[in-house]
Chains A and B, each alone.
Chain A
Amino acid sequence: MLIAATLAIFVAMILAIIRGIAGPTLYDRILAVNMFGTKTVLLISLLGFIMGRPEFLDIAIVYALINFISVIGVLRYSDTNQFKHTPTNNESAEKEP
């Protein structure tokens, strides 16, 4: 059962990577990184249980914190000009009903 859960987390990580590569806007990619981080926390906990070494939980706590700090850091610097989202052609085409 643990191995099945690990495989499911793997699948979710692969899906997050696909969105990270193909996301049209920047925020999709930030979301993909955040989801990847929480999945990594779960993966580390599961691997620790499978391999019988529960010291991995320290790493899980560190990952959760680092994931949080790095997403907050990315968003904190989003007040600069380069993050301003300009409407692409698709969205401006939707403005006319």
Chain B
Amino acid sequence: MINIVLLTLLVVVAIAIIRMKDLFAVVMLAGIYGLMSASFFVAMDAVDVAFTEAAVGAGISTLLMLVVITMTGSKEKPTRHKPLPALLAVMLTGGLLIYGTLDMPYFGSVDAPIHNHTSPRYINDSMQEVGIPNVVTSVLASYRAFDTFGEVVVIFTAGIGVLTLLSVVRSKDNDDEIESINDSMHQQHLVIRIVAKMLIPFIFLFALYVQFHGDFGPGGGFQAGVIFASAIILYAMLFGLRTAHKVINQTFVQLIAALGVLLYGSVGIVSLMNGGNFLDYNVLSSNPITGQHLGILLIQWLVQDLFES
């Protein structure tokens, strides 16, 4: 029942997003869309996905889109030609895709292969083989660790690419000018700066809690990294980019990011040298998942890298 209501609201918001011309309103409605889809995930009892959707989809995406809009225009360009050929192409492709899925088993049916072979193996054997209660983490980190390694390398490459592009465009600011602007703004933004100073240590502590609690509850390395990065973003937004650069050095961040990928790869190579497969944890010590989570957490500082640039 809840699902039907939430899905209907999602459709309503999506239609409103398409019909609006003012891009700021679209960004706000996209934020509402992200929050609502996260609630929908919670209603379907998928807690880790809701966690990630909240952190990334509702917060960071809205901020990113807003920054883009302030750099480009804020009114949507009027369409100059009739979209009829595009509509035909989309309907044809959609129809073919739906026809292709008719062969697949029904959603949630009992005799689908995924419910007979892979899921029971993960759900039943995860406790003995890996030893942590959170099945999502064990699938992400141990059974499918190679996929996660691929994702980590992809994010790292994207981060390096963006950093290289943006450091070309960035102009050199005058330090004194920035300092004077910061001081004059201090009076204006006094309340929010004090509140942020009270909140930021708490956010860091919470990120660490999510990181280490990821074995037992929802969370894990990725979500903790996003929370950590959002705390840095808050600081950089309120106190100016230059001050944030003084707090966290740019080269330090890049070093940590590269170290993260190196750590992940070296865990795999160490297990190779110990006689097992690549990234096979059985030949390491009893619970090496924590070390690998640390690598994932360090990688997510790349996200903060992108925003600082």
List residues of chain A with CB under 8 Å of any chain B CB: 10, 13-14, 16-17, 20-21, 23, 26, 29-30, 32-33, 36-37, 40, 43-44, 47-48, 51, 53, 55-56, 58-59, 61-63, 65-70, 72-74, 76-77, 80, 82
Contacts A29-B24, A44-B42; A70 near B206 (Cβ below 8 A): no
A73 touches B50 (CB 8 A): no
Kindly list chain A residues whose C-beta atoms are within 8 Å of the C-beta of B67. 77
Chain B nearest CB from A45 CB (Å) reads: 10
Q: Which of B47, B59, B210 contacts A70 (CB 8 A)?
A: B59
B32 touches A20 (CB 8 A): yes
Kindly list chain A residues whose C-beta atoms are within 8 Å of the C-beta of B66. 73-74, 77
How many angstroms between the C-alpha atoms of A44 and B39 in the bound complex?
Answer: 7
Which of A23, A30, A74 has the most CB atoms of chain B within a 10 A radius of its CB? A74
Interface size class of chain B, counting residues whose CB lies under 8 Å from the partner chain? 35 or more
How many angstroms between the C-alpha atoms of A63 and B58 in the bound complex?
Answer: 9
A40 to B, closest residue via Cβ: B35
A66 touches B54 (CB 8 A): yes
In B207-263, which residues have CB < 8 Å from any A CB? 210, 213, 217-219, 223, 227, 230, 233-234, 237-238
Chain B nearest CB from A68 CB (Å) reads: 8
In B20-35, which residues have CB < 8 Å from any A CB? 22, 24-25, 28-29, 31-32, 35
How many angstroms between the C-alpha atoms of A14 and B5 in the bound complex?
Answer: 10
Interface Cβ pair total, 8 Å cutoff = 128
Known: A40-B38, A61-B206, A72-B192. 5 other contacts (CB 8 A): A58-B213, A67-B59, A76-B237, A82-B24, A82-B70
B51 touches A33 (CB 8 A): no
Asked if B55 CB lies within 8 Å of chain A CBs, one says: yes
How many angstroms between the C-alpha atoms of A79 and B196 in the bound complex?
Answer: 19
Chain B nearest CB from A57 CB (Å) reads: 10
Kindly list chain A residues whose C-beta atoms are within 8 Å of the C-beta of B51. 58-59, 62
Chain B nearest CB from A55 CB (Å) reads: 5
A62 touches B16 (CB 8 A): no
A73 touches B31 (CB 8 A): no
How many angstroms between the C-alpha atoms of A80 and B59 in the bound complex?
Answer: 20
Kindly list chain A residues whose C-beta atoms are within 8 Å of the C-beta of B218. 55, 58-59
B233 touches A73 (CB 8 A): yes
How many angstroms between the C-alpha atoms of A27 and B45 in the bound complex?
Answer: 34
Q: Which of A55, A77, A82 contacts B47 (CB 8 A)?
A: A55
Complex A-B: 10 CB contacts under 8 Å: A26-B24, A26-B28, A55-B217, A55-B218, A58-B51, A62-B55, A65-B203, A68-B199, A72-B234, A74-B62
A29 touches B237 (CB 8 A): no
Chain A nearest CB from B11 CB (Å) reads: 12
A26 touches B25 (CB 8 A): yes
Q: Which of A13, A61, A73 contacts B63 (CB 8 A)?
A: A73
A63 touches B35 (CB 8 A): yes
Ranked nearest first, the 8 interchain pairs of A and B with the lowest CB-CB distance are A66-B59, A29-B28, A73-B63, A55-B217, A70-B59, A76-B237, A21-B16, A82-B74
Kindly list chain B residues whose C-beta atoms are within 8 Å of the C-beta of A47. 39, 42-43
How many angstroms between the C-alpha atoms of A63 and B213 in the bound complex?
Answer: 18
Contacts A40-B39, A77-B70; A70 near B31 (Cβ below 8 A): yes
